[in-house]
Amino acid sequence: MNPALLDLERQFQAISSSISSVVEGLTDAGLQWRPGDGKWSIVECFEHLNSGWRVLPKLDEKIAGGRERGLLGSGPFRTKLLGEIYIRGVEPPVRVIRVRAPAKFRPRPSPPPAEVVPKLLGLQRELIERIRAADGVDLGAITMSSPISRRFKMTIGQWFRFLAAHERRHLWQANRVRERFLLDARR
Return the domain boundaries, the chain: 3-186
28-66 pLDDT, tens digit each? 999 999 999 989 999 999 999 999 999 999 999 999 999
Would you state the pLDDT for residue 96? Answer: 65
Q: Please calculate the CA angle 181-185-187 and round it to the nearest 5 degrees.
A: 125
* Cα–Cα distances in angstroms (integers) from residue 98 to residues 23, 86, 95, 126, 147, in the given order: 24, 13, 8, 28, 19
105-159 pLDDT, tens digit each? 889 888 999 999 999 999 999 999 999 999 999 999 999 998 777 788 999 999 9
> Bridge partners of 145?
153
Domain covering 3-186 assigned CATH 1.20.120.450 in the classification: yes
Would you state the pLDDT for residue 97? Answer: 59
- Say what angle helices 42-49 and 3-23 make with each other, to 10 degrees: 150
Q: What is the pTM of this model?
A: 0.93
Local structure of residue 136 (DSSP, 8 states): T
